[in-house]
Amino acid sequence: MTGKQTAAYFFRKAVELLATLLLVSLFTFLAFSVIPGDTARVMLGANATAEQVEALRAELGLDRPLPVRYLSWLGGAFTGNLGNSTQYRTSVGGLIVSRLPVTLGMSVLAFCMIILISYPLAVLSSRKPGKLADQVCSVLGHVLFAIPPFVLSLLLIFITGSLFKKVSVGSYTAPDVNFGMYVRSLMLPAFAIALPKIAMTFKFLRSSIIEQKASDYVATAKSHGLSDYKIMFRHILPNSNVSSITVISLVLSDILGGSLIVEQVFNLPGLGRLLLSAISQRDFPLLSGIVFYLALVTVLLYFAADIFSSLSDPRIRIR
């Protein structure tokens, strides 16, 4: 593939990313603009006069035409200025950033667990398909994949808290206070998020590895005297990763959604609690800001998956 073709591919992907983000911002803004309810009335309370409500609407820019409000909100969204929360009376961006260590920390820990557990299990299970190790891993995978994260959270709390007295639900330490305690406070929630995703990643990797082991290049490598270890880690796993990148990007985006639920079970001050608070208080600026942030992260993950896939297999850029 020529450099010109490569540059054209990446440019096309960048344009697709920008177009997707614009559509996401439009749908996010419109969704919360058409919901019945007056932000100014919510902020002032039921006893406010009509004159006070109108004055606050003018101050917040709610009396402007919808397209003007959207363009203003769009400019703020891409510069980090998402307006002020009607509930907390502070910037939406600041609130999201203050809760990121919880949600982001859990997501990173969960992803590390997924990679560190699913890959060895997939290699072990694919060595002798249909044998005892493969059957045990497959059954566990089916069970874990079928159980929702919040149910796993309750089970883990019962096992570690009620039976072994090793965890206190709701105990969270900020990373700037004690980083070790911060990681420790997020380990169990991250494990609850990771378990179903481990099952999903394991099943896909196992199938991909078995498919690669049946390829002609594996037989050729064996005929040249390469050991099974070298064939697995030099050839089979790298080739399996090409098709695994998309699945891993799906897992990453799913981790974010799962973390919002698990936060509630473990009573952690993350984006999940902030989102529920925004919904209950009809805090539309905060609600739209969180939804836009989550959508932005998801779109960027898919974009990164496309780029890594094309770097791993140049044939993708040709197609």
Ramachandran sector of residue 49 (left: φ over 0; alpha: ψ -120 to 50; beta: rest): beta
221 within 8 A of 231, measured Cβ to Cβ: yes
pLDDT tens track for 276-300: 888 777 777 888 888 888 888 888 8
Q: Is 55 or 188 the better-scoring residue by pLDDT?
A: 188
69 within 8 A of 62, measured Cβ to Cβ: yes
pLDDT tens track for 187-198: 888 888 888 888
pLDDT at 206 over 80: yes
pLDDT tens track for 28-48: 777 777 666 666 666 666 677
- How many CA atoms lie within 13 Å of 171's alpha carbon, on the beta-carbon side? 13
* pLDDT computed for residue 124 by the predictor: 84
Residue 7: both structure tokens together? 């540059």
Query: Coil, helix or strand for 53?
Result: helix
Q: Which of 61-70, 223-232, 309-318 has the lowest mean pLDDT?
A: 309-318
Overall average pLDDT of the 201-221 stretch: 83
pLDDT tens track for 139-162: 887 787 777 777 888 888 777 766
- Give the chain's mean pLDDT: 79
Residue keyed to tokens 């394991």: 202
In this structure, CATH architecture of domain 99-272: Orthogonal Bundle (1.10)
* pLDDT computed for residue 167 by the predictor: 60
**Where in the chain are the domains?**
99-272
pTM of model > 0.95: no
* pLDDT computed for residue 85 by the predictor: 82
